[in-house]
Amino acid sequence: MKPARIFQQYIWIVNTLRQYKKLSLEQLNELWVKDEVIGGEPLNRKSFSRHKDAILNMFGIIIECDLEHGYKYFISNPEVINDDTIEGWMLSTLTVNTVLSDSVSLRNRILLENVPAGEEYLQTIILALKTNRRLVITYQRFGYESYEKTVSPYALKLFRQRWYILTYTGRHMATYALDRMLSVEISDETFEMPEDFSPEDYFAEYYGITTDDTPMAHVVIRAYGNIPNYLRTLPLHASQKEIGHTDEHTDFSYDIRPSVDFVLELMSYADGLEVLEPMELRQKICNSLQASLERYSNGI
């Protein structure tokens, strides 16, 4: 059987269990046949057992059987497929690819966002991550001449449709955008990544990819209209807490380093969001909005 067909079956099982929470093999089979996953053929116990093992090996998703309540199967570790895990991202990507491959006739009615260049370097960078080998990159920042740099790759991060690589230059940590790279080569030189270094912890106090000396702050924002619903379903940061609401607005708090990426995100909500604390951040955004207003006023 073609790999694409197998992936489709794995994805169907995972997403169906996510939707229905718990299903017996008989119930799962009824849905399987109804959806014509393999042309209406049933899902037998032996095949399901193989699929469970493959799903565990590929995504780290554990499918267990509740023996006390009707021998029903369920995902016992749903946290591994949260949106901020690689397993969740892989599952989401494969799900989209599977759905789109079955919807070629609708290609003019499914609109996707453009992703900048740089994905051609992913395979090389991932190989360097696996083998702990340094990379020689030719990089060109916007408005500057290109230069060559040898770096130790620590992690990859996807942010706002762009891939970034977190590296150690030998003196400090640095983040590079893949779409600004002109070339990438693996060197023969290896490096040792510190055992106590966690890329997740490195970015934990920030929003986005800009990590600088911005001090930690307790940020409180007030969201109006439908903005609170967007923030509830897709929090800006792991520290987000809903601390109060009225019929007109909802207040959220964050413990974060409000660097430029976070400031720009807040400003993207325009008049639907207001910073209450700290006053320095409120004033910073106020100054930016005032400068923008003056720029527009000059043209009227």
Q: How confident is the model at residue 84 (pLDDT cuts 50, 70, 90)?
A: low
Question: Which residue intervals of the chain bear CATH 1.10.10?
Answer: 3-101
Q: Judging by DSSP bridges, how do beta strands 181-190 and 173-177 pair with one another? A: unpaired
Q: How confident is the model at residue 188 (pLDDT cuts 50, 70, 90)?
A: very high
CB–CB of 74/16 below 8 Å?
Answer: no
Query: What's the 3-state SS for 138-150?
Result: EECCCCCCCEEEE
Question: Which residue intervals of the chain bear CATH 2.30.30.520?
Answer: 119-203
Nearest to 176 by CA among 206, 152, 200, 207: 152
pLDDT tens, position by position, 35-55: 888 888 999 999 999 999 988
Per residue in 164-185, is it b (16+ CB within 10 Å) or e — as a string? Answer: bbbbbeeeeebbbbbebbeebe
- 61 CB burial (10 A radius; 0-12, 13-18, 19+): buried
* Distance from C-alpha of 76 to C-alpha of 284, rounded to nearest angstrom: 45
Q: Judging by DSSP bridges, how do beta strands 23-24 and 63-66 pair with one another? A: unpaired
* Distance from C-alpha of 63 to C-alpha of 37, rounded to nearest angstrom: 19
Q: What is the mean pLDDT of the chain?
A: 88
pLDDT tens, position by position, 236-280: 999 999 999 999 999 999 999 999 999 999 999 989 999 999 999
Q: Which residue has the higher pLDDT, 121 or 242?
A: 242
At 204 the three-state DSSP class reads: coil
Angle at which helices 45-59 and 25-34 pack, to 10 degrees?
90
Predicted confidence at residue 96, as pLDDT, reads 66
Q: How confident is the model at residue 144 (pLDDT cuts 50, 70, 90)?
A: very high
Q: Which residue has the higher pLDDT, 13 or 2?
A: 13
Q: Which residues is 151 bridged to in the sheet?
A: 135
3-101 domain in CATH 1.10.10? yes
pTM above 0.85, yes or no: no
Rg (CA), the chain: 24
Mean pLDDT of 149-169: 92
pLDDT higher than threshold 70 for residue 101: no
Nearest to 167 by CA among 179, 152, 185: 152
pLDDT tens, position by position, 193-238: 999 999 999 999 999 999 999 999 999 999 999 999 999 999 999 9
Which residues, 6+ apart, have CB-to-CB distance to 93 below 8 Å? none
Predicted confidence at residue 82, as pLDDT, reads 67
Which residues, 6+ apart, have CB-to-CB distance to 60 below 8 Å? 77, 80, 87
119-203 domain in CATH 2.40.30.20? no
